[in-house]
Structure 1
């Protein structure tokens, strides 16, 4: 039970994963801790080599952890696979489907391995592939293959759904329809763990998120909480005849930094309301107009890039072993 009184469907505590190699052990996951409540959509983000894929594979039960604890629906996903697998759905980065089978044949084959599979027509309709049911997999576009991946993950009406880069290869319309479907699944009570490189996707979908860096959690919270740690931006055009030195003392307005480009001024501040109010009062008293005035909160992209820059400043990116890269359905994880 979490602080909000909801059941935690996914519990990750001090999780560790270690790979052996000729050059010694590589610790890809180094004490990761977070939880996901029932009916919550949680996004897991990470810089290159952050340990994101390694973490997700442990949660899905594809490997045992080297240390720490993971529970899915109250059970160990690796040691109690028989109990956990029928209740989860997994959409991997690549499907690895037999290319000569049609879409319908692929679904029918997968349904035979899935407990309580939903009707094939319903699964096809959910992902917009009804009219492509008789098409061979090798003839599908990249986006259609991703939709087939999603249909397979949804066959078993999962309580917990793992989505690994679900909209890669989709066009704008396909991405929007997938987002809408994911929201509907979440609203109906499905717990969703999402990994994505599209930061606007995480910002728009996630109830909460974690950003991993070098095998550890670098940021955790709602998208608003994570971005709140970054300064807001205020930009405007300096009035004719005025110079930056004519503005009120910026340090006294909560401004942490500024840049100029011609007559445009951009301020960084952790107190946007106070800073903007002081600027407007100054402009009113000076009887000038601050043209192009724009007050904008920080974005998730800025928070992510700050973590990436800090990684570079402290020795660059780690590289996960080849075995921790893109995963295909032939590697395991039936829905």
Structure 2
């Protein structure tokens, strides 16, 4: 287990991490989520030793942060120029005592013999990303850290990627990753940590977040804006295209108000949503809760 205890970090006057305490359990898949600038990448950089912390400490009880046991997939993929895919694989093999075979490497990348002889820098964005991922697995790591791992992958490649992750989970690998995709969090994470402005807002399993954070969402056309303004309920109203999105824990009270105000109920939609859904309801990732 890796224990992060009371970590804080400043860049100039801006405090990007504020008294962060969490545990990364061995054999568990943990997802960091949060909007851009929430502190996810900075926290990962501190955990792996790329950035210095200002206060607090990190206790690595199982020696998972050893360079022979840990592998990192960074957010941006970059390869040395003029190196073939096979040469990159052989280079990474030279870094470790125990390595995967070229056959396993091809199974992960789905590259044929011809693609092994291509210059790595000439590959498509999705191919580069799956190659980068495969290279992180060359040394048979026990702790895998990934920052936005499926960036630039198409749907098919992303599905293949998560099948490999599922296999690694079954084998007991410890995994820590960041993501902006709700399906990835729900599908693979055993534990979710929501960071917002450098503070942990939520730390729980996806199942508990769905159960405990469940609420109702009402969609109502924008031409009812005067009615929306007259409502006195404790609810959150968001503008979404041609309609308002009302988030509430008391859908009955809202519905009663809409009926009283002569809203045509055939023009509104009501459905259940969860805190996990609401976290991912805009293009920038996690919204303020």
Task: Give the match for residue 89 of structure 1.
Answer: 71
Whether 2:33 is the aligned partner of 1:41: answer no
Whether 2:49 is the aligned partner of 1:61: answer yes
Measured in 1, the distance between the counterparts of 2:169 and 2:59 equals 20
The superposition leaves residues 181-238 of structure 1 with CA deviations (integer Å, 9 ceiling, x where unpaired) of 11111121001101122233223221111111111112221123334325233679xx
Measured in 2, the distance between the counterparts of 1:92 and 1:54 equals 12
Task: State the 1:40 CA deviation.
Answer: 1.1
Measured in 1, the distance between the counterparts of 2:278 and 2:80 equals 41
Whether 2:120 is the aligned partner of 1:128: answer no
Task: Give the match for residue 231 of structure 1.
Answer: 215
Q: 1:233 touches 1:298 (CA, 8 Å); kept in 2?
A: no
What is the TM-score normalised by the length of structure 2? 0.78
Measured in 1, the distance between the counterparts of 2:218 and 2:126 equals 39
Instruction: Please say which structure displays the higher CA radius of gyration.
Output: 1
Measured in 2, the distance between the counterparts of 1:293 and 1:142 equals 39
Task: State the 1:145 CA deviation.
Answer: 0.6
Task: Give the match for residue 149 of structure 1.
Answer: 132
**How many matched pairs?**
268
Q: What SS does the corresponding residue of 1:86 show, helix, strand or coil?
A: coil
The superposition leaves residues 1-35 of structure 1 with CA deviations (integer Å, 9 ceiling, x where unpaired) of xxxxxxxx22211112233xxxx443221111111
Q: CA RMSD in A?
A: 3.6
Task: Give the match for residue 249 of structure 2.
Answer: 270
Task: Give the match for residue 261 of structure 2.
Answer: none
Task: Give the match for residue 60 of structure 2.
Answer: 72
Q: 1:17 touches 1:29 (CA, 8 Å); kept in 2?
A: yes
Task: State the 1:299 CA deviation.
Answer: 5.4
Whether 2:3 is the aligned partner of 1:15: answer no
Of 245, 258, 272, the match for 1:296: 272
Q: 2:148 touches 2:177 (CA, 8 Å); kept in 1?
A: yes
Summarize the alignment of residues 94-173 of structure 1 with structure 2, pairs less than 5 Å apart. Answer: 94-131=76-113, 132-173=115-156
Task: Give the match for residue 259 of structure 2.
Answer: none
Q: 1:209 touches 1:222 (CA, 8 Å); kept in 2?
A: yes
Measured in 2, the distance between the counterparts of 1:265 and 1:99 equals 50
What is the TM-score normalised by the length of structure 1? 0.68
Measured in 2, the distance between the counterparts of 1:27 and 1:76 equals 28
Measured in 2, the distance between the counterparts of 1:68 and 1:121 equals 43
Measured in 2, the distance between the counterparts of 1:76 and 1:25 equals 33
Please, which runs of 5 or more residues in structure 2 have no aligned partner?
A: 221-226, 228-232, 256-264
The superposition leaves residues 127-153 of structure 1 with CA deviations (integer Å, 9 ceiling, x where unpaired) of 322442111112210001101111111
Task: Give the match for residue 230 of structure 2.
Answer: none
Of 171, 180, 198, the match for 2:163: 180
Whether 2:12 is the aligned partner of 1:28: answer no
